[in-house]
């Protein structure tokens, strides 16, 4: 908890707060009606095409919002947001959908959101509660279950978005074997090459987070996306400044070095190392060892030897 | 068996096992949970929305505090806080375990919903004898058998008297059943599914590495280079050839030496691949920050309304 003051120092906290400010400022700007530009993303343009194709073929659209181990997190929510748009398009075309969930929390959230989408479209009676399914929370049992569904239902379009691991290629190749048009995105960078090899369209990196802004054009999302661009610019500026400063600084010599929160004299001057540079100190704190004398808790509040609250 | 709260050190959030204080706290928590659930069911939609926003903000604020509020330095289990700042930081630090447990409790309830979804789909299919109903029968049958043997084995292991189960000689039908189902079948089937990846890599690579465009050709060539650098015989022969024509590592020879397969693939990985991955990582991290911020402040409108 709060240990980053000891680890990365005040700078990373300040940088995080600066980024938060950038994002909030741009959300405010977008709310004010400012017209903000977003470039086209090929994978997202393909969504309508994929769902349209599934409708023509009379086969379902299958979606997997990743394999999040714990409860629903921001990555899963982003995947479900994209799937809400896909489901909306599918509902308009009257096309069946299948959402395969890896954990029960995702299943619950996805079912509620997709149900809402059908209600908003005035098609509540067309929503099939079994179209959102919990498959399994074991990685390869899930892969086997989803592969089986793809093969049996002959999915015409598949969307794999969110956290994927070793099962990514199993899912993508199975879908490829039934001729499904595939749009995928993995927040795990090691899996992105597999998706690129096996899928028709892949959202790389932060395109995944830009998707809902691109699809819905909600001011909050568009503003947030522009804020993200400002953050990236700030990081690029830092990288460039760091490279130049480190290159120049490492040409000199030092007679004192920073160690455990204080400057210590060196036996003899030496060439400046990367760890001695200004930017290195800025990003990695090296605090002094602190010993604090505190009073002891009263006996009634002391933890018991057997652990926990056990008597 | 100790099913109840067991957290160290003593805080507001726990109490000794079996004590009146513990049962009173559990009872109060249950009453509050039922009241909150009923309240949410009958609350007007607008009010419900605000309650959800408040709960989301409160939960997020806790973790913001957990990460940003300065941690107590050099804290011992017996240490008393020195001032208000430390009192708060001790409280946040101690409460985190409880907040994390709350998430686990909610997940526990949601697993029930997951099982309900599975049974609903598959029992319905069996009852109506729909297409592939036999697969559903296998799934439901496996689930019931696994639950029976799994829980039976787990309960036996909870009893301290059953430490003899560590030795396989003392196993009974339940223990052998669990071992056969979990270690003998499930684990091996998992491994079987994983091994399929090897074959899929081949078929996916075959499609991806066809030189259909400039980008695909660059991909093909770089992949070929990296693959060859990992093939011992090829690397050995090529390095031998380079060493023969350029035996030293100075001047022009150093330039020639850099054409060794390991040097080229190493350069590609550290100067092309790693910076690209770092760049993507920055974008993903910032995207996650923005998404988290929108969820925390309830700015996100789910449902993809256009």
A305 or A71: whose pLDDT is higher?
A: A71
Decide if A290 and B189 are in contact by the 8 Å CB cutoff: no
Q: How confident is the model at residue A2 (pLDDT cuts 50, 70, 90)?
A: low
Domain extents in chain A: 35-217, 227-283
- Contacts with B22 from chain A: Cβ below 8 Å: 309
- Contacts with B70 from chain A: Cβ below 8 Å: 2, 5
Number of structural domains chain B divides into: 1
- Contacts with B107 from chain A: Cβ below 8 Å: 70-71, 103-105
Residue range A54-94, pLDDT digits in tens = 989 989 999 999 998 777 888 899 999 999 999 999 999 99
Q: Is B215 on the interface with A (CB under 8 A)?
A: no
- Contacts with A167 from chain B: Cβ below 8 Å: 193
Backbone angles phi, psi at B91, to 5 degrees: -65, -45
Decide if A104 and B73 are in contact by the 8 Å CB cutoff: no
Q: Would the pLDDT of B101 be above 90?
A: no
Buried b (16+ CB within 10 A) or exposed e, B57-73: eeebeebebbeebebbb
Task: Give the structural domain span for B225.
Answer: 209-296
The verdict on residue B228 lying in a domain is yes
Residue range B33-68, pLDDT digits in tens = 899 889 888 889 889 889 889 999 999 999 988 888
The whole-angstrom separation of Cα B219 and Cα A180 is 24
Interface test with A, best of B280, B303, B305, B306 (most A CBs within 10 A): B303
Decide if A85 and B304 are in contact by the 8 Å CB cutoff: yes
Residue range B267-299, pLDDT digits in tens = 999 999 999 999 999 999 999 999 999 999 988
The verdict on residue B88 lying in a domain is no
Q: Chain A residue closest to B285 (CA)?
A: A206
Q: Is B302 on the interface with A (CB under 8 A)?
A: yes
Q: Is A84 on the interface with B (CB under 8 A)?
A: yes
Q: Chain B residue closest to A114 (CA)?
A: B303
Whether residue A187 contacts residue A162, with contact meaning beta carbons closer than 8 Å, is answered with yes
Decide if A81 and B293 are in contact by the 8 Å CB cutoff: no
Percent of chain B with pLDDT over 70: 95
Interface test with B, best of A38, A76, A99, A104 (most B CBs within 10 A): A104
- Nearest by CB to residue B284, choosing from A1, A173, A187, is A187
The whole-angstrom separation of Cα B286 and Cα B17 is 44
The whole-angstrom separation of Cα A276 and Cα A278 is 7
Decide if A140 and B118 are in contact by the 8 Å CB cutoff: no
The verdict on residue B240 lying in a domain is yes
Percent of chain B with pLDDT over 90: 39
Q: Chain B residue closest to A86 (CA)?
A: B304
Residue range B132-148, pLDDT digits in tens = 899 999 999 999 999 99
**Residue A256 to chain B, least CA–CA distance (Å):** 28
Q: In terms of DSSP H, where are the helices of chain B?
A: 20-42, 45-68, 84-127, 133-158, 173-178, 187-208, 214-230, 232-245, 252-257, 261-267, 274-296
Nearest to A292 by CA among B69, B75, B84: B75
What does the CA dihedral A95, A101, A106, A110 come to, rounded to 10 degrees?
A: 10
The whole-angstrom separation of Cα A58 and Cα A145 is 22
* Residue A307: its H or E element: none
Q: Is A113 on the interface with B (CB under 8 A)?
A: yes
Decide if B18 and A311 are in contact by the 8 Å CB cutoff: yes
Q: Would the pLDDT of A309 be above 50?
A: no
| CB pairs A-B closer than 8 Å | 270
For residue B98, what pLDDT is reported?
Answer: 80
The verdict on residue B221 lying in a domain is yes
CATH 3.30.565.10 fits domain A35-217 = no
Q: How confident is the model at residue B184 (pLDDT cuts 50, 70, 90)?
A: very high
Q: Is A22 on the interface with B (CB under 8 A)?
A: no
Whether residue A202 contacts residue A196, with contact meaning beta carbons closer than 8 Å, is answered with yes
Q: What is the DSSP string of A234-303?
A: HHHHHHHHHHHHHHHHTTSEEEEEEETTEEEEEEEEEEPPGGGSHHHHHHS--PPP-----PBPPGGGSP
Whether residue A44 contacts residue B306, with contact meaning beta carbons closer than 8 Å, is answered with no
For residue A302, what pLDDT is reported?
Answer: 67
For residue B287, what pLDDT is reported?
Answer: 92
For residue B169, what pLDDT is reported?
Answer: 85
- Rg value, chain B, Cα: 30
- Nearest by CB to residue A303, choosing from B10, B67, B115, is B10
Q: Chain B residue closest to A189 (CA)?
A: B277
Decide if A144 and B292 are in contact by the 8 Å CB cutoff: no
Residue range A163-221, pLDDT digits in tens = 999 999 999 999 999 999 999 999 888 899 899 889 999 999 888 988 888 888 888 88
Q: Would the pLDDT of A28 be above 60?
A: yes
The verdict on residue B239 lying in a domain is yes
């Amino acid at each position: 908890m709060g240990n980053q003051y000891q680890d990365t120092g005040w700078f990373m906290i300040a940088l995080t707060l600066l980024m938060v400010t950038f994002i909030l400022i741009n959300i405010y700007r977008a709310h004010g009606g400012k017209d903000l530009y977003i470039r086209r993303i090929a994978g997202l343009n393909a969504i309508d095409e994929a769902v349209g194709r599934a409708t023509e073929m009379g086969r379902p659209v299958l979606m997997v919002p990743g394999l999040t181990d714990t409860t629903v997190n921001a990555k899963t929510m982003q995947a479900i947001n994209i799937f809400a748009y896909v489901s909306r398009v599918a509902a308009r075309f009257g096309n069946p959908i299948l959402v395969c969930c890896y954990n029960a929390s995702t299943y619950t959230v996805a079912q509620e959101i997709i149900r809402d989408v059908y209600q908003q479209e005035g098609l509540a009676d067309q929503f099939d509660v079994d179209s959102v399914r919990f498959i399994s929370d074991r990685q390869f049992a899930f892969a086997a279950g989803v592969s089986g569904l793809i093969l049996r239902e002959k999915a015409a379009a598949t969307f794999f978005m969110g956290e994927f691991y070793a099962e990514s290629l199993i899912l993508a190749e199975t879908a490829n074997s039934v001729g499904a048009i595939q749009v995928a995105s993995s927040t795990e960078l090691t899996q992105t090459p597999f998706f690129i090899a096996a899928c028709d369209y892949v959202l790389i990196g932060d395109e995944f987070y830009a998707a809902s802004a691109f699809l819905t054009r909600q001011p909050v999302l568009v503003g947030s996306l522009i804020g993200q661009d400002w953050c990236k610019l700030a990081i690029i500026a830092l990288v460039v400044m760091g490279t130049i400063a480190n290159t120049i600084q490492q040409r000199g010599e030092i007679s004192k070095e920073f160690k455990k929160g204080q400057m210590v004299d060196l036996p003899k001057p030496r060439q400046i190392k990367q760890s001695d540079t200004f930017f290195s100190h800025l990003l990695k704190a090296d605090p002094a060892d602190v010993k604090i004398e505190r009073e002891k808790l009263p006996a009634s509040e002391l933890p018991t030897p057997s652990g926990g609250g056990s008597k | 068996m100790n099913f109840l709260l067991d957290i160290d050190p003593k805080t507001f959030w726990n109490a000794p096992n079996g004590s009146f204080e513990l049962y009173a706290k559990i009872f109060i928590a249950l009453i509050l949970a039922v009241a909150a659930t009923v309240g949410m069911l009958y609350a007007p939609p607008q009010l419900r929305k605000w309650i959800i926003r408040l709960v989301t903000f409160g939960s997020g604020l806790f973790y913001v505090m957990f990460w940003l509020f300065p941690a107590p330095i050099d804290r011992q289990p017996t240490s008393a806080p020195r001032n208000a700042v430390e009192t708060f930081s001790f409280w946040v630090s101690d409460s985190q375990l409880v907040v994390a447990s709350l998430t686990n409790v909610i997940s526990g309830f949601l697993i029930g919903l997951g099982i309900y979804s599975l049974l609903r789909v598959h029992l319905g299919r069996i009852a109506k004898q729909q297409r592939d109903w036999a697969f559903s029968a296998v799934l439901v049958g496996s689930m019931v058998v696994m639950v029976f043997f799994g829980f039976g084995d787990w309960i036996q292991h909870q009893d301290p008297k059953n430490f003899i189960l560590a030795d396989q000689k003392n196993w009974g039908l339940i223990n052998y059943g669990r071992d056969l189902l979990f270690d003998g079948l499930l684990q091996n089937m998992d491994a079987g599914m994983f091994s399929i990846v090897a074959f899929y890599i081949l078929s996916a690579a075959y499609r991806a590495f066809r030189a259909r465009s400039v980008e695909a050709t660059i991909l093909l060539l770089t992949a070929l280079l990296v693959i060859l650098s990992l093939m011992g015989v090829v690397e050995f022969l090529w390095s031998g050839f380079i060493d023969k024509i350029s035996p030293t590592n100075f001047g022009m020879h150093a330039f020639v030496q850099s054409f060794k397969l390991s040097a080229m693939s190493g350069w590609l990985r550290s100067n092309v691949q790693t910076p690209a991955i770092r760049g993507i990582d920055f974008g993903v991290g910032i995207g996650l920050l923005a998404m988290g911020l929108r969820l925390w402040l309830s700015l996100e409108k789910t449902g993809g309304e256009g």
